[in-house]
Amino acid sequence: MIQEEKNIEIKTDTKTEFSVSFDFKKYAWKQFKKNRVAYFALKILILLVGIAIISPVIATDQPWYCKYKGVSMFPAFSVYNQCQITDKSTGIEETIQYDIADWKHLDAENIIFAPISYSSNKTDYDNAGYVSPFAKQLFKNKEGNETNIPLKFRHWLGTGKAGEDVFSGLVNGTRISLSIGLLSMSIASILGIVLGAMAGYFGDNKLKTSRGSFWTFIVGLVFAYYYGFSVRSYFISDAFSISGFEILVQLLISLLIFTIVVAIFYWLGKFVGKIPFLKQQVNIPVDSIVSRLIEIIISMPLLILIISISAIAKEKSMVNLMIIIGLTAWTGIARLTRAEFLKVSNMEYIQAAKSLGINEFRIIFKHALPNAFAPALVAIAFGVASAILIESSLSFLGIGVPPSTVTWGSLLNLGREQFSAWWLLAFPGFAIFLTVTVYNLLGEGLRDAFDPKLKK
Amino acid sequence: MLKYIFKRVLIFIPTLIVITLVGFIISVNAPGNPVERMISTAESGGEMASQTANQQEQKKYWTEKLGLDLPVFYFSLTSLSRPDTLYKITERNEKEAIDRLISKFGNWSEIHKYNADLNLFFNSLIRFSVDSSEKALYDLNDVTETLNQLKFESLSLKSSYELKEIEAKFKKMEALISKFSFLKKFQVSLDSIQTDFLAIKKTATPWKNYIPKIAFYGFKNQYHRWLFGDGGKYSNGLLRGDFGTSYRRKESISNVISEKIGWSLFFSLLSVVLAYLVSIPIGVKAASKRGSGFDKTSSVILFLLYSIPSFWLATLLLMTFANTDVLHWFPESGVKPAIGYPDGAGFLEKIKISLPYIILPAICYTYSSFAFLSRTMRVSMLEIVGQDYIRTARAKGLSERQVIWKHALRNSLLPIITVFATVFPAAIGGSVILETIFTIPGMGLETVEAIQNNDYPMIIAVLTISGLLTLVGYLISDILYAIVDPRIKYT
């Protein structure tokens, strides 16, 4: 029954005049919406993503608007980090460095602060030493006297040992947690879906090629590794001590070179495969190779593996962590995609596509994948949850993330030193718990929505 | 059956080799200089500049003992510009500097000459002492200071690869040499080093870097020695249970592990047993009364438990039950009193003393696997309850109790066997965090401390061993599955 439904959906995809009233995506969405808990979780997720996007603006010590000596500034939104101000009466030039200026004590004519007027990586000396959200908080006013803190500068969720604002840390931590989950899972999804699809579709004896092209391809891989990574190894390792962006750029250049070299050798292989002796067909056991690879990765203790890899990285950075998690977390996605492709690859519409002589890779990614994508999506949702958990446990241990970055895990770690500071334990922990639960609920909801067997 | 097991073990071997390779690759790329870590830091006052002959000897000994004078692997993918013998340079910074120079200029023979002259210069500088007749002429402090600076500059020159940096160092050294007339003979060798360096720049052949070459080294390499040992001279090899020496504790890693594994094993076994004891009845009861109040509430609670990060729960428990401000029912950390057990305490008595220490960690170890197991149990039980033979059992008049506990449970236990394999590694990996929070002296805490102290041999040993244990766990559960379920035919 459901097979037919899926087949029909493919026809609608090919944009013929023929249209049917049934659409599997719409059907799944309707099923998902019926699941009230999962739908609620989706709403919370959207809220969290919203917070993550606007977090640098709503939780920062740089004011939204400031008028100082007749000059209007928008530090929180500005791409520049400083502003030259000339005092009209005295002619003295003054430079205001946005990120280090003491805005709260600035003698400004007009100033509007962000709702959370603290940055996560800065400290408030007046309220250092674990100040409770309900306790009396201090503020040094312009005359230099300690007074009760004004409402707009209150630490609503308390402070840490050095005076870190917990609320700001929470809000900015959302961005870090979600982006780690998103980016690492993007890497994992690409790897998992491609490998799983190939393994399931080709199995152990469906991918045949000539001896010549096979060996040319293998040699091509060695060359591609050599030109992509071996020759450029110092560029890449130097990038690790510059910035996360630089790492990404260098890795992308390497990957590009790798792909180009592989493509060249793939093309060469077509000619080599025409030589009589090298013409003989060989089998490529794709399934066995991928299954072994999965077995190897799942038999490594993930946390210890990630810890050891991040221990040898010269510079701690978020990008490192994302890449490591992405490279190790694809196995679940690959297994589910593989299982789905095993089913799909024998269906009539795939047979039909094959008999029409359509390129195999086109069949895999254009025709089969849309129907096999659902289980992968479920695995991705659970994967994001575990990636966030891994990141927060690592920063809880103080491993893997740079010490200047404030994350939920590192906030929780601050609280471990002082159990009486319950706000340092309760709020960040709850944030982690909430996000992980939301993704787990989403995963469950998606699984139920995509699996018509469960429908009563 | 035997054939299946045999086949399974055969597949096991390549996986094992890859796991050792991963561990090895990580350890080779570990930063820092292992030799310097091993040499006792007692005489590290002058650090680099004060390299005595004794230290040189010690260095040589540790280099050989750690196998750092051997090539890394059986073969390596290098470029035409690189010599096969680059591994013989044991100083890490020096090797990197040379390698970077090669990757810039691609002319090994000139770079080799430059490096050899530099080493010659450095060695003669170390052996140099001022004549007693000249000593009287100069301020002694000034002389030693200059010499030390010169030593430092030439040593750091060995690990420099930036052109500007190198040229600046040349100038600085020239200025130092010109300070005293008796240093004149060094000016000659410094000149030759500078001409070497000019030659490198002049005869650069960077194209050689773009031609790949595979160099073979045979069995005398670090990986082979790490795995199989070298006949007992320095190492017995991983396969014979010799994991090397811990940098931090300066003792054999096997000793450290056998000392530390006890508590880790205790907690992971305890958690598995407790989790099974709790989760099977809950899963069965929830499934047999599907849709009831018990099913619904237990589902929600289990789901929430499943999502709670263990480190959060652990800190919350500590905050509430081991806090002098709230409730001080349990001790904060450790597994036994600080003064240790009383003399002559029996095993049972020891457990009784340790019990308050164990309860909180045991909860944290257990709850997540118990939530996971209960959910799995419920699902597999639901599938079984719908089967025909259960209906038959009911039809023949068996009580509901008998149907569920005798007929259904047995079959639904099958998936739980496979779960066993995943629970075990989870216990090992999860213990890193929990052991740190509760300060349990086990493998997890040892690993974290090893990481904080850059004790790479220890980290790699832990990685390899736990990978191995996991593989064995999968193997056993697969075989158990094959034995227990007669419906499955293995070929």
Q: What is the pLDDT of residues A431-454, one digit of tens each?
A: 999 999 999 999 888 888 876 554
| Structural domain boundaries enclosing A15 | 2-32
- Residue A300 near residue A392 (C-beta atoms within 8 A): no
Q: Is the confidence metric ipTM above 0.85 for this complex?
A: no
- Last-in-domain residue among A230, A249, A283: A283
Q: Name the more confident of B439 and B46.
A: B439
> What pLDDT is stored for residue B283 in this prediction?
85
How, if at all, do strands A65-68 and A110-112 pair?
antiparallel
Q: Report the residue from A225, A399, A436 with minimal CB separation from B309.
A: A436
Return the sign of the alpha-carbon dihedral for residues B224, B225, B230, B235. negative
Is A299 close to B425, i.e. CB distance below 8 A? yes
Residues 6+ apart with CB under 8 A from A8: A20, A22
**Which residues in chain B are contacts of A393 at CB distance < 8 A?**
309, 311, 433
Is A223 close to B212, i.e. CB distance below 8 A? yes
Selected residues 424-463 of chain B with any CB under 8 Å from a CB in chain A: 425, 428-430, 432-433, 436-437, 447-448, 451, 454, 456, 459-460, 462-463
| pLDDT classification of A262: cutoffs 50, 70, 90 | very high
Mean pLDDT of A27-45: 87
DSSP structure class, residue B404 = I
Is the pLDDT at B45 greater than 60, yes or no? no
- Residue B155 near residue B49 (C-beta atoms within 8 A): yes
Q: What is the pLDDT of residues A163-215, one digit of tens each?
A: 888 899 999 999 999 999 999 999 999 999 999 999 988 888 888 888 888 88
CATH of the domain at A417: 1.10.3720.10
> What pLDDT is stored for residue B425 in this prediction?
59
> What pLDDT is stored for residue A46 in this prediction?
95
> What pLDDT is stored for residue B488 in this prediction?
63
Rounded to 10 degrees, the C-alpha dihedral B96/B102/B107/B110 comes to -30
**B43 to chain A, minimum CA–CA distance in Å?**
27
> What pLDDT is stored for residue A44 in this prediction?
94
Strands (E), B139-250: 212-216
Residue in chain B closest to A226 (alpha carbons) equals B212
Residue in chain B closest to A302 (alpha carbons) equals B429
- Please give the Cα distance from B165 to A46 (Å, whole number): 52
Q: Does B14 touch chain A (CB under 8 A)?
A: yes
Is A303 close to B432, i.e. CB distance below 8 A? yes
| pLDDT classification of A2: cutoffs 50, 70, 90 | very low
Same domain (yes/no): A14, A138 = no
Is B312 close to A234, i.e. CB distance below 8 A? no
Query: Per residue in A77-90, is it b (16+ CB within 10 Å) or e — as a string?
Result: eeeeeebebeeeee
Other Cβ atoms less than 10 A from the Cβ of A404: the count is 9
Does domain B253-484 correspond to CATH entry 1.10.3720.10?
yes
**Which residues in chain B are contacts of A304 at CB distance < 8 A?**
428-429, 432, 447, 459, 462-463, 466
Other Cβ atoms less than 10 A from the Cβ of B231: the count is 10
Is A412 close to B312, i.e. CB distance below 8 A? yes
The count of structural domains within chain A is 5
Q: Name the more confident of A14 and A193.
A: A193
Q: What is the pLDDT of residues B160-193, one digit of tens each?
A: 888 888 889 889 888 888 888 777 888 888 888 8
Mean pLDDT of A118-129: 81
| pLDDT classification of B475: cutoffs 50, 70, 90 | confident
In whole angstroms, what separates CA B368 from the centre of its chain? 25
Q: For an interface test with A, which of B302, B319, B326 has the most A Cβ atoms less than 10 Å from its Cβ? A: B319
**Which residues in chain A are contacts of B26 at CB distance < 8 A?**
308-309, 312
Q: Report the residue from B312, B463, B467 with minimal CB separation from A433.
A: B312
**A429 to chain B, minimum CA–CA distance in Å?**
6
Is the pLDDT at A414 greater than 90, yes or no? no
Q: For an interface test with A, which of B17, B28, B307 has the most A Cβ atoms less than 10 Å from its Cβ? A: B307
Q: Percentage of chain B with pLDDT > 90?
A: 0
Q: Name the more confident of A298 and B135.
A: A298
Q: What is the pLDDT of residues B292-344, one digit of tens each?
A: 888 888 888 888 888 888 889 998 998 888 877 778 888 877 777 777 777 77
Read out DSSP for B102-145?
HHHH--HHHHHHHHHHHHHHHHHHHH----HHHHTTS-HHHHHH
> What pLDDT is stored for residue A14 in this prediction?
46
Same domain (yes/no): A266, A344 = no
Q: Percentage of chain A with pLDDT > 90?
A: 22
**A451 to chain B, minimum CA–CA distance in Å?**
15
Same domain (yes/no): A15, A67 = no
Same domain (yes/no): A382, A448 = yes
Same domain (yes/no): A265, A320 = no
**B130 to chain A, minimum CA–CA distance in Å?**
42
Same domain (yes/no): A303, A394 = yes
**B53 to chain A, minimum CA–CA distance in Å?**
31
Q: Does B306 touch chain A (CB under 8 A)?
A: yes
Same domain (yes/no): A145, A48 = no
Q: What is the pLDDT of residues B86-110, one digit of tens each?
A: 888 877 788 888 888 888 888 888 8
> What pLDDT is stored for residue A6 in this prediction?
46
Is A440 close to B209, i.e. CB distance below 8 A? no
- Please give the Cα distance from A452 to B401 (Å, whole number): 32
> What pLDDT is stored for residue B418 in this prediction?
64
Q: With CA atoms as reference, report the closest residue to A401 among A328, A306, A310.
A: A310
Same domain (yes/no): A336, A402 = yes
Residue in chain A closest to B470 (alpha carbons) equals A299
Same domain (yes/no): A302, A314 = yes
Is B467 close to A230, i.e. CB distance below 8 A? no
Mean pLDDT of A23-48: 86
Token representation of residue B398:
């068996």
Q: Percentage of chain A with pLDDT > 70?
A: 93
Return the sign of the alpha-carbon dihedral for residues A131, A136, A140, A146. negative
Is the pLDDT at A51 greater than 60, yes or no? yes
> What pLDDT is stored for residue B130 in this prediction?
75
Is A416 close to B437, i.e. CB distance below 8 A? yes
> What pLDDT is stored for residue B420 in this prediction?
67
Is the pLDDT at A344 greater than 50, yes or no? yes
The reported pTM is 0.81
- Last-in-domain residue among A243, A263, A283: A283
Question: Residue ranges per domain, chain B?
Answer: 75-216, 253-484
Q: What is the pLDDT of residues B225-257, one digit of tens each?
A: 888 887 777 778 888 878 888 878 878 888 888
Q: Does B323 touch chain A (CB under 8 A)?
A: yes
- Please give the Cα distance from A378 to A332 (Å, whole number): 10
| pLDDT classification of B427: cutoffs 50, 70, 90 | low
Is A301 close to B19, i.e. CB distance below 8 A? no
Q: What is the pLDDT of residues A271-323, one digit of tens each?
A: 888 888 888 888 888 898 898 888 888 877 777 788 777 777 766 778 888 88
From B14-18, B36-40, B152-156, B280-284, the region with the lowest mean pLDDT: B36-40
- Last-in-domain residue among A136, A163, A190: A163
**A368 to chain B, minimum CA–CA distance in Å?**
29
Q: Report the residue from B209, B315, B471 with minimal CB separation from A299.
A: B471
Same domain (yes/no): A229, A341 = no
Asked whether residue A118 is domain-assigned, the answer is: no
DSSP structure class, residue B212 = E
From A346-360, B53-67, B195-209, B421-435, the region with the lowest mean pLDDT: B421-435
